[in-house]
Structure 1
Amino acid sequence: MSMSSAETAYAMSTKTKLRLWLRLLKVTRSVENDIREKLRVEFDSTLPRFDVLAALYQFPKGLRMSELSGLLKVSNGNVTGIVDRLVKDGLIIRTPVPGDRRALRVRLTKRGEEEFALQAAAHEQWIDDLLSDVSMNEAENMISSFDRILVEMHGTKSEEA
């Protein structure tokens, strides 16, 4: 039994979307691996450290550890190890939360702000270089498409960088 033209078009559309998904994964992993390597080589750092610094940079008054792990969508245990090393390196400090003896707030030190600013500028340039063949119009169209997908899935757009 042969497929109708509508069934054939649907099957082709489905396969094309699957190819798109696989290509998105491949590109994302390639870009992430490149960024990880550049952070390691140029800053002797890691992507998780960069992510913690970036999150804290957005909140100058700091975040409770639970807020930080929620924002980064990782466990408290994962964040604690990274925070311990960043405190040791003098990039962030822990302070008690008034009225809650168990809670700690973490925030960037001046040195942490300066270090993150250097890393963020380099990161932005790396992304620009990696995506240099993508025009501004293409990038805007992709962002719109991905935002539509996110709204459909979760009822909200992506968080802007």
Structure 2
Amino acid sequence: MNQKQESQQLWSNPPESPSERIVFLFKAVQKIYRDQIFEKSQQYGFTGPQLGLIFGLSKHPYSTLNELSEYIGLSKSTVSGIVNRLVGQGVVIREIPENNRRIVRLSLSPEFERNNVIKELFNSYISDSLKGASDEELQKIIGGLEVLYNLLTKGDNGPS
């Protein structure tokens, strides 16, 4: 079953309540995003989590393992294993700052950044996905996401 058929099947019996529909839509969008990233990652010889880590380091260079783990939403041990593999491939480098020898900073290797198109892929992925949207549709998406973000970050993040 292709992605379009799967999506149509999901919509054949949508949830009734607004909160269920929001969760449903959020999960559906996440699944589409994950599937597309997985497909793109295979084209470049990386796994989805490896590509996520590469994207994370491109946006947040010189992150610690803890910071990167939090940013990409994977456990520290999982991120550590991914980093080890990417260090072995020459994609990621570890650096120990002179002023604090207890931490390790991670970044993409200069060679990888010079010779790889993944950064361009990352920058164009969302814009390519939304190229058919009108300005009005884009503003609705941005407005809805801002409302959701504000609601989720209000107060202590717990139930009211």
Taking a change above 3 Å as real, the CA distance of residues 63 and 20 of structure 1, as seen in their structure-2 partners, is: closer
Taking a change above 3 Å as real, the CA distance of residues 20 and 68 of structure 1, as seen in their structure-2 partners, is: closer
Question: 1:82: Cα distance to partner?
Answer: 0.8
Q: TM-score, normalised by structure 2?
A: 0.72
In structure 2, the partner of 1:135 is 134
| Structure 1 unmatched runs, 5+ | 1-13, 157-161
The structure whose residues are more often strand, as a share, is 1
After superposition, what is the alpha-carbon deviation per residue over 1:17-59, rounded to whole angstroms, capped at 9, x for unaligned?
533431332232123202211221x201122222222222234
Letter in 2 for 1:75: S
Number of aligned pairs? 140
CA distance in 1 between partners of 2:47 and 2:34 (Å): 11
Letter in 2 for 1:106: L
Report if aligned partners of 1:53, 1:112 keep a CA contact under 8 Å in 2: no
CA distance in 2 between partners of 1:115 and 1:67 (Å): 26
In structure 1, the partner of 2:5 is none
Within-5 A mapping of 1:28-43: 28-40=30-42, 42-43=43-44
Question: 1:115: Cα distance to partner?
Answer: 5.1
Higher relative contact order (CA 8 A, sep 6+): 1
In structure 1, the partner of 2:154 is 155
| Structure 2 unmatched runs, 5+ | 1-15, 156-160
CA distance in 1 between partners of 2:59 and 2:149 (Å): 23
Percent identity of paired positions between Structure 1 and Structure 2 = 24
